[in-house]
Amino acid sequence: MAEPFVLTAVPKLLPEGPFQGHLEYVEFKADNGKASHLWWLTNTGTYVEDFAKTMPKAEAYAIVAALRRGETVIV
């Protein structure tokens, strides 16, 4: 039986300028101890809608809020 993946989302916030602190993109890593996948997604304002395709919308809002605060999220 395949091991489940753990998904880690690391936010990258703009470091300076008029939009300092704005969520620019998120780096994702899925790992199950045997395989690892890395990718990133630029913030186009659709994270909640995208995440809500695989989880309840309330959870999607909570994850995006944490990312906007600069917090790493592990699911």
Instruction: Provide the residue ranges of all domains of the chain, joining segments of one domain with +.
Output: 6-74
Let me know: does 70 contact 16? Beta carbons within 8 Å.
no
Tell me what the pLDDT averaged over the chain comes to: 95
Q: Considering the chain, what percentage of its residues have pLDDT values greater than 90?
A: 95
Q: How confident is the model at residue 1 (pLDDT cuts 50, 70, 90)?
A: low
Tell the residue number behind the tokens 């994270």, with chain if given. Answer: 47
Q: Sign of torsion, CA 16 21 24 15?
A: positive
pTM: 0.88
Cα(67)–Cα(18) distance, integer angstroms: 19
Beta bridge partners of 6: 31
Average pLDDT, stretch 30-47? 96
Which amino acid type is present at position 46?
A: T
Average pLDDT, stretch 38-67? 96
